[in-house]
Amino acid sequence: MCHLRSMAGEKVQVIKREPDLWRLRIRSDDDLWTLAHLCKKGRMLGMLGERRDQTTAGQEGGRAKAAERKRMWIVLRIESHENHAFSDILRVHGIIEEAPVDKGSHHTHLIEVGDEVELRAVSFPRVDAELLDKASKSGGQSRLAIAVVEHDEVNLFELATHGIREVAQFTLRGGGKYSGGAKASQDVQDSFRIKIARDLHMQLPDDVPLLLCGPGMARERLLTEMQHTGRELKTVATSIGGRPGVNEILNEGLAGEFLAEHSLVNEVRLLGECWKRLATDGAVAYGKEELQKAKEEGAIEIMLISAETLRSEDTINGDSWEDWVDGLSEIGAELVQCSLEHDDGQQLLSFGGAIALLRFKI
């Protein structure tokens, strides 16, 4: 079952933005991903929550009366958080600092789309401000769906601003992947294609564009079946199917303007350029010593670092990563905070979570 939802035009709403306080309304699970990276240990997070008010407990008609759950504004000092890829809920654990009851007790805020939260810090570093700015700007992008079409199988992927996930798989035979041992009749393939066209259209919100890709001509036949739906559609050839086909589109820019403005596409394209330069001994640097040397020589053009590495307790040249990247503006370098929720982001981890495209070799 597909769980892709429409997020077109929705972006995090910044209600208040002061040096030490940000008040935000969460509009999508992309915003939950952003907020998770802002919920650093020690910061304050406030929102409406529920606690049992023990003053309402007691005896009633000879029976024990349970304490009532009351809705109240609760401010936590953050200790940890949990946010899984494409999750609908961000869990933030901490100690209650401000609330009508239970100060000093543990509490967990369950943050969902539509919730309003208040985040406090002594001050917010530039990297957090840039991450919030990106969420505000890229939130206006529609979610995109990519269907990788083969004659006996269709894999449906969701492309969000922070990653890629497979949300559905359709096969010619219900018992798993079609083995291809015997050629399916044309009638069976036609029926399969008609059913897939109907299911894709029903399961995707009307305003979500759909990119059909894959090897062979199966994608063109599926396009014909879906043209009457009025949905924005595009088809592009790839040399391979499945998830590798999606990676090929993003790395090679095969979809042209259809995906050109999507922030994740730019991120994947830049990481792809890193891998190409590594393979050809080009102008690229990774590892703390190389990165420090490149920065000192003013060679860094674009610095790519995972959002997790950037906010970790790890250090480089005696500084935190947050402090280290602050100096990039002095050499005119661009900072890109990368997600780990796609294949190139995972590959970035094998290079220490940080890599730089250089203006010249060092």
Look up the domain containing 181 and give its range.
144-258
Whole-number pLDDT of residue 253? 75
Instruction: Specify if 58 maps to a domain.
Output: no
Whole-number pLDDT of residue 158? 87
Whole-number pLDDT of residue 140? 46
Classify 3 as helix, strand or coil: coil
3-state secondary structure 292-356: HHHHHCCCEEEEEEEHHHHCCCCEECCEEHHHHHHHHHHHCCEEEEECCECHHHHHHHCCCCEEE
Same domain, 148 and 235: yes
The domain that holds 294 is classified in CATH as 3.30.1330.30
Report the alpha-carbon distance of residue 35 to residue 135 in Å, rounded: 10
Of 97-101, 175-179, 189-193, 245-249, where does mean pLDDT reach its minimum? 175-179
Instruction: Specify if 61 maps to a domain.
Output: no
Same domain, 156 and 92: no
Instruction: Specify if 230 maps to a domain.
Output: yes
Question: Judging by beta carbons within 10 Å of its beta carbon (0-12, 13-18, 19+), is residue 272 exposed, middle or buried?
Answer: middle
Q: Would you place residue 208 in the very low, low, confident or very high pLDDT band (cuts 50, 70, 90)?
A: confident
Same domain, 291 and 344: yes
Whole-number pLDDT of residue 84? 74
Count of domains observed in the chain = 3
Query: Which residues are CB-contacts of 254 (< 8 A; sequence separation ≥ 6)?
Result: 213, 236, 237, 238, 248
Report the alpha-carbon distance of residue 307 to residue 161 in Å, rounded: 13
Q: Is residue 27 a contact partner of residue 5, using CB atoms and an 8 Å limit?
A: no
Whole-number pLDDT of residue 8? 43
Q: State both tokens at 273.
A: 């350029």
Domain boundary among 258, 286, 313: 258
What are the pLDDT digits (tens) for 172-196? 765 444 444 445 467 777 788 888 8
Report the alpha-carbon distance of residue 132 to residue 56 in Å, rounded: 41
Instruction: Specify if 253 maps to a domain.
Output: yes
Q: What's the whole-model pTM score?
A: 0.80
**CB 147: neighbour CB atoms within 10 A?**
27
Work out the mean pLDDT of the chain and round it to a whole number. 86
